[in-house]
Structure 1
Amino acid sequence: MPTRPRCPVCGTPGPRRIVYGLVLAEVLDDPGVAIGGCVVASNAPRWRCRNSTCEHEYGRAGDR
């Protein structure tokens, strides 16, 4: 499980992991997940800030 880094903009801990591709119904109900779309670009973000006034996307999907 990757470490969930604090948002670099607002400092909120526990970002949502961005999931790409065809998403199963049980993933849609997971509050720790954000839907990222169908295509994963090489520079696609990995995390989305949980703070609804920020929602900054950061990290890279390919990073481990």
Structure 2
Amino acid sequence: GREARAALTLDGLHLDLRAEAPPWSVDLTWRGWIARCPAYLGAELDAVPAGQAAGLPVSGEHGLRDGGEAA
């Protein structure tokens, strides 16, 4: 029943343009830290508009921090 909501950070972009014509491949890597404990059951990811995610805490190496805080 415990829940924590946090925004993920886009930290990777891979473009595969080897094909002569579309469809080309684009892969994005989103990263975040989750504090894990023995009762950890899993994570559920939801896609939300950027404006809605702007107010969520951001995950960092030492836990969650306010979205407006500098890294």
Q: TM-score range by the shorter chain?
A: under 0.3
TM-score by length of 1: 0.25
TM-score by length of 2: 0.24
More strand per residue: 2
